[in-house]
Amino acid sequence: MTKPLRIGVAGLGSVGAALVRLLQRRRADLRARTGRDITIVGVSARSRRERGLDLGGARFYDDPAALAASSEIDLFVELIGGADGAAYDAARAALSRGVPLVTANKAMLAAHGLELGRLAESHGAPLAFEAAVAGGIPIIKTLREGLAGNAVRRVSGILNGTCNYILSRMETEGLPFEACLADAQRLGYAEADPTFDIGGFDTAHKLAILASLAFGAKIDVGAISIEGIQSITLADLAAADELGYRIKLLGVAERSEKGIEQRVHPTMVAKAAPLAQTMGVHNAITIDGDAIGALTLVGPGAGGDATASAVAADICDIARGDVAPAFGRPIDALEEAERVPMQRHEGGYYVRLAVVERPGSVATISTRMAEQRISIEAIMQKGKAKGVTANEVVPVVLLTHATTETAIREALALAVADGAVRETPQVIRIERD
C-alpha cells in the first residue's frame, strides 16, 4: 500500500465538519478505492471551540496559511470561504509550495481562479473544486472530463438553492417574497444578509466557473449581466403559471459566433423543461453539447454532507494521482472570448405593465412595440377591478416573440414617456429551448 495521504483541513463549519465525519465514516472504502489511507493531520478554524468532532491526533493551527505551508501535509483543503482574506492567503500558500489544493470556494475562484490555476500549474500542484458549483452535483467533472468530446453551446442552471426555495414557495403556497425569505433564513438556507443569494451574485460566481469549463475560456465574472429575484411578485408567478411557465433564477452562458453571453436573471422556463421541475433547495444544470444533445443534472446544491461528498471526490482523485488540468486545459490555452453584452441578447420577453385605463393606451404600447419591430405573441389584461375609472391603472401582461434587449427596453421607455404606462415595467426573459 502507498503511504497515507496526509491532509490539512481549514474551516470546520458546515462543510468542513461534514468532511471530517465523511472521511471517518468512509475510511475503509476510500482506502480500497485509492490504495492509501486518507488521514487528517492538521485543522484550522477561527475558534478552538468543541465541535463534537473526532479529530484524532490532528494538530490545530490558528493560522490556515501556516497549515497550508506546513511540511506535514500532502494536500490542503480550504473550506473557509470568501474571495479574499484567510482563504485566499492559505490557498496561495499551499499552491506556491506545490501542495495540491481542494476548495469549495466559488467566490475565490471567480475572483482569482486564473491566478490560482497559473500558480498551480507553475508548481505542478493539482487544483480541484468540484464542490464550488452546485454542491453535491458532480458538474465540474462532467463538463471538464465527461463531455470533453462535445462542443458545448449552452449551459443553463438553477445554481442557488435559496432563490429556488423562495420562488418555489411563493409559487406553490402563494406566500409573498419577504415571508419566504424569512423562512429561508430561519431554516439556515439564506445568510443573515441575503443580498449575495437573492441579488444573483452567488449564481454569477458559479456561472463564471461553468462557462470557463464549458467553452475553454478564461473566467470572466465581469462579463456577467446580473439581476436578482427581488422584483418577482405573486402576480408574475400567477401569470407565468397561466402561460405555461415557471419563474426560475437561471445562470445562462451561451456561445455563438458573436462570442460568449453570460447572464443571471429571473427567467420564464416552460413547465415541461427539467429546470422548471426543479423545486425547493435543489440545483439543476442543463448542458447542450453537439454530440450529446441536452443533458440535465439535478440534485442537492448545498448542505454539509452533499458538499463534503464533492470535496471527498476531489481528494480521492488526488490520492490516486488522477489529476486533470483545473480548467480542462492549460491556463494559457484558455480563450479570451469576445463578450456579448446583454443589450444584444435575443429572445422572447414577458412584460407586465401598469397600463393607464384610458382609450388608446394599449394601442400606444402596440405602436411602440411595432416601431421596434417587436411582434407580440399574447396579451392579457389581468384582474381588471370592477369600477376602474379613467386614468386608473390595470395590469396588462404581454409575451413577445424573439426580439432584442435593446428593442424591448426602448419600446417600454417610450410607452412610459407617452403616459400609457405607469411604474417601471416588469420584464422577464423567456428561455424557449
Q: How many C-beta atoms lie closer than 10 Å to residue 255's C-beta?
A: 21
Nearest distance in Å: CB 61, ligand NAP: 8
Nearer to ligand NAP, 82 or 176 (CB): 82
- Residue numbers of the site for ligand NAP (CB under 6 A)? 10-16, 44-47, 64, 79-81, 86, 104-106, 131, 135, 302-303, 307
Calculated CA dihedral for residues 35, 134, 124, 20, nearest 10 degrees: -50
Nearer Cβ to ligand NAP (46/373): 46
Q: Which residue has the cell 393607464?
A: 356
The residue (of 313 and 376) whose beta carbon lies closer to ligand NAP is: 313
Q: Please say which residue, 105 or 400, places its beta carbon nearer to ligand NAP.
A: 105
Q: b/e per residue, 142-176, with b = 16+ CB within 10 A?
A: bbbebbeebebbbbbbbbbbbbbbbbbbbbeeebe
Write the CB contacts of 116 (distance below 8 Å, at least 6 apart in sequence).
91, 92, 95, 101, 108, 109, 127, 326
- What is the bridge-based pairing of β-strands 293-300 and 282-289? antiparallel
Nearest distance, CB of residue 107 and ligand NAP, angstroms: 6
| Separation between Cα atoms, residue 33 and residue 316, nearest integer Å | 8
In angstroms, what is the minimal distance from the CB of 330 to ligand NAP?
Answer: 25
Instruction: Report the nearest approach of ligand NAP to the CB of residue 277 (Å).
Output: 22
Report the residue number, 196 or 349, with the smaller CB distance to ligand NAP.
196
Closer residue to ligand NAP, CB minimum distance, 81 or 126 = 81
Give φ, ψ of 415 to 5 degrees: -65, -35
Q: Look up residue 343 and give its three cell numbers.
A: 443589450
- Cβ closest to ligand NAP, residue 29 vs residue 62: 62
Tell the smallest beta-carbon distance from residue 128 to ligand NAP (Å).
13
Summary count for the chain: helices (H), strands (E)? 14, 17
206 is catalytic: yes
Chain residue at closest Cβ approach to ligand NAP: 13
Catalytic residue among 3, 141, 206, 271: 206
Provide DSSP, 12-47: -SHHHHHHHHHHHHTHHHHHHHHSS-EEEEEEE-S-
3-state helix, strand, coil in the chain (%, to 5): 40, 25, 35
Q: Tell me the three state secondary structure of residue 428.
A: strand
List Cβ neighbours of 103 (8 Å cut-off, separation of 6 or more). Answer: 77, 78, 79, 87, 91, 109, 127, 128, 129, 131, 132
Beta-strand relationship, 152-158 and 259-270:
unpaired
Shortest distance, position 175 Cβ to ligand NAP, whole Å: 24
Long-range pairs, 357-363, Cβ under 8 A, ≥24: 357/388, 357/389, 357/390, 357/391, 357/392, 357/393, 357/394, 358/390, 358/391, 360/420, 361/420, 361/421, 362/396, 362/420
What region does 387 belong to: left with phi over 0, alpha with psi -120 to 50, or beta? left
User: Whole-number minimum distance, CB 10 to ligand NAP, in Å?
Assistant: 6
Q: For the CB of residue 134, give the shortest distance to ligand NAP in the complex, in Å.
A: 8
Nearer to ligand NAP, 32 or 192 (CB): 192
What residues are annotated to the active site? 206
